Each structure stands twice: as structure tokens, then as C-alpha cells.
Amino acid sequence: MGNSAVQDMTEGSPAKLIMRFMIPMCLGNIFQQFYNIADSVVAGQFIGVTALAAIGSTGSLMFFVTGWLNGLSSGFAILVSQWFGAKQYDRMRHYVAMSVYLSTGCALLMTAGLLIANEPILRLMNYSDNIMPDVKLYMGIIYAGLIVTAAYNALAAFLRALGDSKSPLYFLILSAAINVVLDIVFIVTFGMGVEGCAYATVIAQGISALLCFFYILKRYPILHLKREDFKVSIHSLGRLLALGVPMGLQFSITAIGTIIVQGAVNIYGEIYMAGFSAAGKLQNLISTVFSAFGATIATYVGQNMGAGKMDRVRQGVRCTQFMILGWSVLLMVVMYFFGEYMTWMFISPSETEVVNASVTYFHTVFWCYPFLGSIFLYRNTLQGLGYGLVPMLGGIFELAARSGIVMLIAGHASYVGVCLSDPAAWIAALIPLVPYYFYKMHQFKMRVESRSDML
């Protein structure tokens, strides 16, 4: 098949395969988040609280944009992993080529639309005139660089579909280090403001995309595309969109919910904005383990379904659920007792009100981490099986719960009430996901039994 990094997940111990794949995925997720975190740290330490509030509060908006691209490319990669599992490499390459068309077109459309809608979106999020110019400038540069974000996400997704989660990690570590260096050079040496952070992010992401591309050219003959692979097939484009769009929307729907919550927090002023954004950055960092398990199970399930091994799918989901519960318990203890000290990474301990706002958030949500982890497991399992609609429905339930709490509470009750919107959303998201997973697995089992009866 051309490369030792390619990992066939249809043979061997499910638990070992999942852990071996998940750890590089997790580290990769951490370094991908590192871009916005590094921007927030440098801005908070070298420019001040207003800059931290400006950049830190864009996390939900960044998640909306990058989440859509990430979801889209992850959805496309499901079909790549299924055809790889079925050992039909010509079909696999064809779907890679069609994914390139769709990813490029989507990135260009998003850049144009978001640059036009930049200020109206920020107005809807209740940004004050004091920090509006900084936020608008920062996001404008990020939007202009979306093509490189899309390129990295697509290339990394193709590698992961073949079982290689390590190579994208190495490129991300290198580009994250470049991002930090550029942040410091642009802000400390050249005296730039928030625009320095944005330029650093786009340049670093461009480097990671280029590294991925050249690595595939050199090491992955199985992914080398020929002219015939690019022959447009409406049917293939439709199949990719049927998986990619619901996955992209599911990320975006979740992000819209967090944008609504951010808008509610913005009402309480810059201290709560800075505290909430620091808490959000930390929580995203620690929950990367959940999203890594999710991405891993999607590849694992996709390959095993392609190979027709549904018993292995069940085994993989079961052992992943236990691992997620174990991590959740550890997180509950760490964030309840040590969350305060971890926020010092973003803001000086002397800013006691900002730190207290972060601690309040953790004390409000810590008990709900097992639910958060389970969302990633069941959502990605269903996507790996080729079902995009119900995972998107989970996102709609999540959005409805989050929006409902915010509408009832924002401006009428305490900041704690707004923080409660996250636990409500996590529990609501599982309502369609868990029953549908067990229903589909029962269907598969009945199908196999009826075939064996006929024999």
C-alpha cells in the first residue's frame, strides 16, 4: 500500500488500535487550538485585558468558521476510510479528488461571505465600540486566510482516513511553534496590535498545509491522484455533501450556540468576557481528548463497516465509552479544584475578578463532563456508519437547549445562569444520538441473523 504509517483498523485489538490512533489525534487537536490560545496569551500578557477580551471572545466565532471546514473535511474522509477499508483504492482516490473540488469551493465562498458580513455579525454579538475595531480587524484577517485552513483540514483528514494520525500532528507542532514565535515578533518587536496575532495564525496554518501536501506527495503513492480521478461525478459529489454538510452544520450549529452564549456574556462587561473566554479556552483544551476519541472512532467505524465487521464496531464503541468515562472523572476533579490556577496562563493572578469569573464557570459545569464526552463518541460513531442527519439533529437539540437558557436568563439573572446553558446543551444533544445508535446496531444484528437463517 506504499507506506508503513497507513493503519488498517480492521484487524487487532480494538482498544489498542483506538488508543494508538487517539493519542496523536489528541495532541494534534491541542496544537490546532494552540493558534487562538497563543494569540490570547500573548495579547493578554503584552497588550492587556482589552486585547484578551477582543481575541479571547472570538473563540466561538473561530469555532463556527473552522468547525464548519473541519466537519466538512471529516465527513468527506468517512467515504475515503470506507473505500480504504474495502480495499477499493481507485474509488478511494476518486472521492479524494471530489473532496478537493468541494473544499476549495467552500473555502472561497466562505471567505467572500464572511468578509462582507464581518461587522454585522459582531454587532449581533453585542461587542462594545471600545473593542469592536480590534475584533473586526482580527477576524477579517482570519477570514482572508480560510483557504489555508481548509487545505490543512482536508489533507490531514485524508491521512487520518488511512489510519495515519501521527504525521498531521508533527506538522501542527512545528507550525504552532512558528505561530508563537511570530506572535512575539509581530507584537513585541514590531509593536503591532491584534492584527499581529492574526497574521501569525494564518502564516503558521499555511506552513502546516504545505508540509502535509509535500509529505503526501513523497510518502503516499496510494493517494497520488491521476487525471481520471478528477472526472466530475454529480453522484459522488452528492454522496460527499450528504455526509460532509451535516457534519459541518453540526459543528456550526454547536458554534452558533456558543456565539449566542458569548453574546449573553458580553452584556456583563469586559471582566466577565475575559474570564469566560479564558475558561472556554481551558475547557476546549482539556476536552480535546473527547474530540480525539470521536475522530478516532469515526475512522475505526468507517474502516470496519467498509470491511463488513460490525462486531468490531460494537467492541470499539464499548471500550471507548469506558475510556471516556475515566477521563471525565479525572477532569471533574482537576477543573473543580485546580481551574483557578490554570487560568493564570491567560491572565495575571492580580486580575482577581477575571479569575473568579473563570472559576465560577468551572464550578457550574464540571459535573457534566461525562455527557460532553459521550456526545463525541455517539455522534462520530453514527457518522462513521454513514449517517449524517441524526448527528446534525443532536446539534439542533444542543442549540435549542443553549438558546432557551440564554433567552430566559441573559440580562435578567446572574452570570451563573448563563454558564448553565452548557450542561443543558450537552445533555440535550444526547437525546437523539444514543437511542439511534442502539437502534441502528440492532438493525445490523437482525440483518446478519436473517442472512444466516436463510443459509
Contact 370, 324 (CB under 8 A): yes
What one-character-per-residue DSSP string does 194-253 give?
Answer: HHHHHHHHHHHHHHHHHHHHHHHHHH-GGG---GGGGS--HHHHHHHHHHHHHHHHHHHH
In a structure prediction context, what are the per-residue pLDDT tens digits for the chain, which is 455 residues long?
444 456 778 888 898 999 988 888 788 777 766 666 677 777 777 776 677 677 767 777 887 888 888 888 988 888 888 888 778 888 888 889 999 999 999 999 999 999 998 888 888 877 777 778 888 888 999 999 999 999 998 998 888 888 887 888 888 888 888 888 888 888 888 878 778 888 988 998 899 899 999 998 888 888 888 888 889 889 989 988 888 888 787 777 777 777 788 778 878 887 888 888 788 878 877 888 898 898 889 889 988 988 888 889 999 999 999 999 999 999 999 999 998 888 887 777 888 888 899 999 999 999 999 999 999 999 999 988 888 788 888 888 998 998 888 888 765 667 888 888 999 999 999 999 999 999 999 998 888 777 666 54
Residue type, 44: G
Contact 212, 168 (CB under 8 A): yes
Half-sphere exposure of 189 (CA within 13 A, CB side): 6
Q: What is the pLDDT of residues 326-372, one digit of tens each?
A: 999 999 999 999 988 888 877 778 888 888 999 999 999 999 999 99
* Beta carbons within 10 angstroms of residue 413's beta carbon: 12
Residue 56 φ then ψ, to 5°: -60, -40
d(CA 302, CA 86) in angstroms, rounded, equals 10
For residue 6, with 0-12 CB atoms within 10 Å meaning exposed, 13-18 middle and 19 or more buried, which class applies?
middle
Which pTM value belongs to this model?
Answer: 0.73
H-run or E-run covering 42: helix 14-46
Q: What is the pLDDT of residues 152-187, one digit of tens each?
A: 989 988 888 888 878 888 888 888 888 888 888 888
d(CA 438, CA 433) in angstroms, rounded, equals 9
d(CA 437, CA 385) in angstroms, rounded, equals 10
